[in-house]
Chains A and B, each alone.
Chain A
C-alpha cells in the first residue's frame, strides 16, 4: 500500500511541476473568458445604426417613426431610388397607399444588406403606427392610446414564465440553462477522458520503451505500478479541474469590474431583453440579462457533485484500458492508433449521443446511453442539469453510478492482466486476440 502512495506521488509531482501543465491550467480559462466576453462585446457592437430615408406617399408616417439603435429615420424632400445615397442615407423606405383607409404596403431598398435588427425595428415601427391609425379610425381617442402606451411600458403587463410540475411543487423551467450546462459538462468529460486517458497511455509507453518496467516490477507488483499511475494522473486531472473552476469563478467576478460600464450597457442592451433590470456588476446577473438564463436557479451542488463523480468514474473506467493498450505497443505510434480505436469509439459515440440527449433528456437513447458505463459519464451529464428526480429518476442515477463503479472494477481487473504481460514483452505488438488470451490465463 505504501508503495502505491510513493508511485502516486511521483506521477502527480512530475506532471504538476511540468511547465505545460501550468501553461494549460492558467491559459485555458483566460482564453475561454476572453472568448465569451469578447463575443458578447462584438455581438453588441455589431448592431449598427443605419440611416433610413423615408418616402411616404400617404403622409401617415411622416415624422412618426421613432429612432432606435438600429435605425435613424430622415424625411428628405424629393428623395428617390437614384439619389438617396447622395443624400447620405443607407436605405430608402417607400410607403405606398391604395387608399387612406386600408393598410399600406412598404418596401425597403438598400445597396447592401442592412441586417435583421434594422429590418425588425422598421417593421415594428410601421406596425405600431398602423395599429394606432386603425384605433384612431375606430374612434379611440388619442389620449387613451397614449395612456395605454405609457402603462404598457411601465408595467410588465405580460409576465411570461414556464413551470415544471412535480407532484404539488412548481419549479421554474429552465430549458436553456440545463441544456447549456449539460452540454458543457458533457463536453468537458469527453475531452478530459481523451486528455488524461492518453496521458496514462503515454506514461505506460514511456516505461516500456525506456525499459523501466522491468526495473520497477522487481520492486513493486505490476498492478501497483499501473494503479499508482492511474490514480496519480486522476489527481492531476482533479487539480486541474478545481483550478479551472476557481479561476473561472474569479475571472467572472473580476472581468465585469474591469469592463467599462459603457461596454456593459452595450452588452446588455444589445440583446434587447424587455424589462432588463437595473445595471449590476455581477457576472451572474449580466449573463442572466444578456442570455435570459437564471444561473442561481440550478441545483449546483448536485450538478457539481455528479460532474466530479462522472469525471472520476469515466476516467477510471477508461484509464486502465488505455494503460493496457500502452503496455502492448512499442515505439511505433502507428500501432497505438489501431489498438486505440476500440477504446475511442465508445467515447465518440457517447459524444454523439450527448447532442440528441440535450434535445430530449428523457428519451430512450438518453436513458440507455446514461445507464451503460461505456457512454454514461458523458450522456448522464447531459441529463442531470434538466433535473433530478424530474428528468432523471433516482433509480436511474443510482443504477448508472453502480454500473459505472462495477465497470471500472472490471476494466481495471482485465487491464491489469494484459498490462502485467504486456510491459515485459519487447519486440512485437500484441494482437487483440493475444491480449484477451493474457487476460484470461494465470500469471
Chain B
C-alpha cells in the first residue's frame, strides 16, 4: 500500500497559542485514519491546513508524494467540517450542484453525480425542497453527499455522525467502508472512541498541538494493555493464590486477574489445571481506546490555556 498523505513537521502558531506544534505522520491509501484529541488539541487547525484553508507556518504536506497545492488539489479532497451548514433558502438539488461545480466539476458531470448519489441515498424526491425544510438528519445526509460526490481521493470527516439516528449513522458508516474499499482514504475525526474502535485502522492522538500517539488500533491496545485476564471456572480451586497473579476482582466463579511480572498467561492456566478446576472461559482484557484516551489526556486542563508564543 502506498502513502497518500504525508505530514512533515507541520507547525501553525497563532498569536495566543501553538495550535499545531511540529506534527508528522503519514496515511496509507485506502485506509480509515482516526485523528483524535480533546477539544482544542489542534485537530481542526491541522485539518484546515490539510484542506488548504490555512497555510502552515512551517513543514510540508505531501499529497500523493507531491507538495500539496491548495488551488488545484481541492478536487481530490472532500471535507465535511464539524461546523457545517448549507444555504437555507436554496433548493436541495441546486445546492448539491453548486458545491459540486465549485469543486471543479462541469455542469453535466455535476448533474450526473448528484443524480447518482441522490438515488443511492433515496433522496430523489428532495430535489426541489428547500434546505430549511429538511430535518437535521436529512441535512447531514445531504452534507455527506456533497462531501463525497466529486469522488475525492481523500475524504475528511469531522464528527460525521453528530445529529444522525442509528439507521442513518449505519448508512453513512457502511458508505465509509464502501469508499475505503474502493481506494478512497478517509480521515475521521471524533471524540467518540467506540466509533473509532469500530471504524479506524490507524489512529493519531494529538494533545496541546503535539502528537502523543500514532499506530494501528491493535498495536496501541497491545501497547497499553495492563496484563489483565478474565477467567471463568466451574468451581473455585482449593488454593486460589499463586505467585503468578493477583486477583483484581472476584464475582462468584468469575475472576479478574493481573499477571505478575516474570510470568505468562499460561502459568495461570497451569495453576488452575493443576488445582483440578475446569476452565470455562479465559481471555485477555485489552483496554478500550476510551480508557487509553482518558489516561493520556488526563491532567490536561479541559480547555487549553492561552500562552504567549515567540516564534
Contacts and interface: CB of A to CB of B under 8 A. Distances in A.
Interface string A403-435: 000000000000000000000101000000000
B52 interface: yes
A105 B81 CA distance: 91
A388 interface: no
Contacts of B15: 437
A215 interface: yes
B83 A218 contact: no
A215 B77 contact: no
Contact of B98 (A6, A218, A437, A443): A6
Contacts of A201: none
Nearest to A2: B104
B85 A212 contact: yes
A215 B84 contact: yes
A227 interface: no
Interface in B221-264: none
A170 to B, nearest CB: 58
Contacts of A3: 102, 104
A6 B146 CA distance: 16
Interface string A379-405: 000000000000000000000000000
A219 interface: yes
Contacts of A216: 102
A6 B101 contact: yes
Nearest to B86: A212
A214 B81 contact: yes
Interface in B58-106: 70-71, 74, 77, 79-81, 83-90, 98-99, 101-104
B53 interface: yes
Nearest to B83: A211
Interface in A99-130: none
Interface residues of B, number: 30
Given A10-B98, A426-B83, A218 B88 contact: no
A7 interface: yes
Interface residues of A, number: 22
B54 interface: yes
A253 to B, nearest CB: 38
Nearest to A210: B85
Contact of A219 (B74, B80, B90): B74
A220 to B, nearest CB: 6
Contacts of B54: 443
A85 B85 CA distance: 78
A219 B79 CA distance: 9
A14 interface: yes
B185 interface: no
Given A3-B102, A6-B98, A10-B98, A218 B89 contact: no
B85 A218 contact: no
B86 A218 contact: no
A217 B99 CA distance: 11
Interface of A: 3, 6-7, 10, 14, 206, 210-212, 214-221, 424, 426, 437, 442-443
Interface of B: 15, 48, 51-55, 70-71, 74, 77, 79-81, 83-90, 98-99, 101-104, 143, 146
14 contacts: A7-B102, A210-B86, A215-B79, A215-B143, A215-B146, A217-B53, A218-B52, A219-B99, A219-B102, A221-B71, A424-B53, A437-B15, A443-B54, A443-B55
Ranked nearest first, the 7 interchain pairs of A and B with the lowest CB-CB distance are A211-B85, A210-B85, A218-B79, A214-B81, A219-B102, A211-B83, A218-B51
